[in-house]
Amino acid sequence: MIITGGSMESVEEDALLEQESDEENSELSDNELQEAWAKGLLKPGMNILANKPKKLVNNVEGLKQCLADFRKDLPWVERLDITNVPAEEILSKIEGKVSSLMNGEINADDDFQREMSFYRQAQATVLEALPLLNKHGIATKRPDDYFAEMAKSDQHMQKIRKKLISKQMILEKSEKAKKLREQRKFGKKVQIEVIQKRQKEKKAMMSAVKKYQKGMTDKLDFLEGDQKKGKESSQGSTKTLNKRGPNAKRKYKDQKFGFGGKKSGKKWNTKESYNDVSSFRAKVAHAKGSKGGKKGKGGKQNKRPGKSVRRKMKARS
């Protein structure tokens, strides 16, 4: 299809003329309305929007016909629908009372009663549906070797695992930092206590020196303070040892060597021990007793040459 330039121009002109005519009509209509308003022809209340009542149609026969059209006579296995009343309450049945659920007197605003009605309805449905499913040969339990497919991919689970590990690492680091801070605080506390103790001792010693200088006391016990402490500690340790008694090493030595009495001469030979040669081994004693008069286990032993021989050998080389 070929469109010439003249035809295109004519189409554009027609469109412009139509727009101008529409504008003129609108202007004319506005002018007419203004003239009518000036003459008093237009009055308020003349034009009223009337809402027509909506006609409600209850076509029962048509609805039944539609229901019959899309209804299909399928077996129960394909439909799996059950209509029943809520299950009976055992306690109320034993007590001989009629529950409100069975009567249908359920308060919709009572959350507990409403949820209980849902629960009883589901319970009755299960009790009725399970025998039907077993009758039709439909399995209601998973086999022992059934493995369900993961809803999330392995990559997603790996991301979650990494995130959990990172959170755990952050928690461990924070706990370590807390412990270090506590240790530092404790160390500072101990250090402060030691410094305060030293300052206190120094202050007491300086006051004692001042008293001695002023002639208020003739004692120099403050100079032997450390020695006294050392003596007291050593005395205390000896007292504790005496209270505890001898240790295991001391007891063993007392048992082996005796406690008191003569200790020398216990290893001297006697006539019986001198004549007893049952424990003598010729092979062991000085490497003697082997066959062929050879020394040691492997025969002749290589003797090291003397110093002069070694020097000559070194000079030759």
Q: Where are the domains of the chain?
A: 62-135, 156-223
Q: Report the SS3 class of residue 278.
A: coil
The whole-number pLDDT of residue 152 equals 81
Distance separating alpha carbons of residues 243 and 241, to the nearest angstrom? 5
Question: By percentage, how much of the chain surpasses pLDDT 70?
Answer: 68
pLDDT at 91 over 80: no
The whole-number pLDDT of residue 301 equals 61
Residues contacting 217, CB < 8 A, separation 6+: 208, 211
Distance separating alpha carbons of residues 282 and 297, to the nearest angstrom? 12
pLDDT at 27 over 80: no
The reply to whether the predicted model has a pTM over 0.85 is: no
Phi-psi region at 267: left, alpha or beta (left = phi > 0; alpha = psi -120 to 50): alpha
Distance separating alpha carbons of residues 195 and 244, to the nearest angstrom? 35
Sort 86 into a burial class: Cβ within 10 Å, 0-12 / 13-18 / 19+.
Answer: buried
pLDDT at 130 over 90: yes
Mean pLDDT rounded to a whole number for the chain: 76
Residues 239-274: pLDDT tens digits? 665 666 778 888 888 777 776 666 667 678 888 888
Residues 136-171: pLDDT tens digits? 888 888 887 777 777 788 888 899 999 999 999 999
